Amino acid sequence: MPVKKSPPITSSRPAASKGATKTPPLKKTAGVKPAAARAGRVRRRAVAPAVVRDIFMRFQAANPEPKGELEYVNPFTLLVAVVLSAQATDVGVNKATRALFAAADTPEKMVALGEDAIRDYVKTIGLFRNKAKNVHALSQLLIEKHGSVVPQDRAALETLPGVGRKTANVVLNMAFGQETIAVDTHLFRVSNRIPLALGATPLAIELGLEKVIPAPFMRHAHHWLILHGRYVCKARRPDCERCIVSDLCTSPEKRV
């Protein structure tokens, strides 16, 4: 007579107990560290719309006209500065571009300067060789395809060498007053911490913020969030004691 197999025994012990089956590791998600992804199993919700409005009202009251920290003299030099700022500090970029823009503040002058000379001006900036190549090439394309004028269209900007979505959004916002949100590491962190909009990628954060930020605050929203992340809601140790929205923040990293 065949022996019937007993059904498997389900253990009631917690996963951390000896002999328990380990949970397979989470796949890495762009923009989110594995530890953060594991913590994300406890689902967080973005703050309510009324709280979002209160947060931006406070940012506006504290700094009505926030400004980017890159130095420029026209839309072209702004475009060049933002391209150079990838994986570099604004302070470092400004030191290099003061002399560069004194020598070349138009696409024609930049092309005439030549890639080798551009490289000498920006050699103190990280990835300077490739950036110099991109600056020379985008200047040439602006002359050939856009009449030496920086286009006011994201898709057209993204066809230029060294220009991605974030760079295009910065230029559209700062040079032309468009209500775009440029998601850098600071803004990405702040949005996920408070949270205003939750997302694993910069694009998800950008689209999420566009849905929740009230219209009166869209023009300056990305500057307020970037500056807040750079000087207050810092990566390693958020300075919650100085934060003007700490009472509205629900981050588990909050220190007050």
Percent of the chain with pLDDT over 90: 81
Position 94 pLDDT exceeds 80: yes
Reported as a pLDDT band with limits 50, 70 and 90, residue 43 is: confident
Do 159 and 92 fall within a single domain?
A: yes
Q: What is the CATH number of the domain that holds 82?
A: 1.10.340.30
Task: Mean pLDDT check: name the lowest of 28-42, 46-60, 138-152, 238-252.
Answer: 28-42
For residue 12, give the nearest of 4, 23, 2, 20 by alpha carbon.
20
Beta strands in the chain (DSSP E): none
In a domain, 26, yes or no: no
Tokens coding 159: 């066809």
Q: What is the DSSP string of 33-84?
A: -HHHHHHTTS---PPPHHHHHHHHHHHHHH-SS---S---SSHHHHHHHHHH
In a domain, 211, yes or no: yes
Reported as a pLDDT band with limits 50, 70 and 90, residue 255 is: confident
Do 171 and 206 fall within a single domain?
A: no
In a domain, 6, yes or no: no
pTM (2 d.p.)? 0.81
Active-site annotation, residues? 166, 184
Structural domain range at position 150: 75-176
Position 180 pLDDT exceeds 70: yes
> With contact defined as beta carbons under 8 Å apart, do 197 and 209 qualify?
yes
Say which residue, 180 or 7, is predicted with more confidence.
180
Question: Average pLDDT of the chain?
Answer: 87
Say which residue, 222 or 35, is predicted with more confidence.
222
